[in-house]
Amino acid sequence: MSKINNQEEFDIVIAFCKNGMNLEYNKTQDFWANKIPTEQFMRYLKGIFTNRNRFYHRFAKDFIEVPKAHLIELEADGYLKEFEYYKGPDQWDMVDVVDRWMEIYDEVEPFNYAEAFRLKDDNFRRLVFTSIGPAEMIKELGYTRLSTEGREVTHKKFNSEGEFLGTETYHTTFEMLEVNAEKIAETDKINMYAVRCWCTSTDEEHILWVEDIYKNSPLEAIASTCRVPKNLKEDIKEIKRQGDIFLLEFNDSVDKEKLKNPSKDVPLSADEYFSLLTAQS
């Protein structure tokens, strides 16, 4: 790696990888990844860190304390071709920058649903939607409960160390919601569909967006969120689910070549999914 002699040709970029976030701030030009202006990015951050104290201590403060070795020199055209860790004087001090962020935080409001949908940058739009809770969104937009379905399931129980504690049989309930999307689509008679369910361990409400072809059955809709290789479907022994993550355990007799060359993913039916699901959280 060649040494950089003229540092003025490079931008200083700080990466924030914490709290499940992976963000980059270009201090030299004062914008975030994809050249999102700071004033706009603060609106997204205010949706994540909903009070001033949390924003400072869980986010902004880390930029003041960032080690100089974590400051990356990025070429002015935006491409990271060659770099070395910056170990120069404190000319990149972030105290004034963070003070300005706090002022902007006090002045801006989080994005609402219609504004988020109108954002032109695809990556930033997806990021902003992570700051808007689905449950809060559908309440604001308005919805109709189309149907309710339940099913008795038997699941394995584990303690915090992963030790198996036995099984538990209980009844689960799912609701299909038709959500009025006119406010965000800016047109008439546009609907989206979501399933409302409750976490088995915390009893908290959760919303899962689903395709409209499953709007007539909440159980089929939930099952459709689990997509597996078609050529391996018959070899699944059990499924464990944690949020949007599925862990598949296959039978010992599964053809190893099929594991190496899985076919196209297909959704499971309600009977397939719930008969294979042995644990979820």
Query: How far apart (Å, rounded) are the C-alpha atoms in residues 261 and 107?
Result: 54
Q: Which of 36, 45, 192, 49 is nearest to 123 (CA)?
A: 36
Average pLDDT over residues 198-208: 77
Query: How far apart (Å, rounded) are the C-alpha atoms in residues 204 and 2?
Result: 53
Tokens encoding 161: 């160390």
Most confident of 13-27, 50-64, 107-121, 210-224: 210-224
- 147, 216 contact by CB (below 8 A): yes
What is the tens place of the pLDDT at every residue in 68-111?
544 455 555 554 444 443 444 444 578 889 999 999 999 999 99
Percent of the chain at pLDDT > 70 equals 83
Residue with structure tokens 């919303």?
Answer: 207
Average pLDDT over residues 198-226: 88
**Range scoring the smallest mean pLDDT among 43-57, 74-88, 238-252:** 74-88
First to last CA, the chain: 46
Report the predicted TM-score, pTM, of the whole model to 2 decimal places. Answer: 0.61
Residue 246 has pLDDT above 50, yes or no: yes
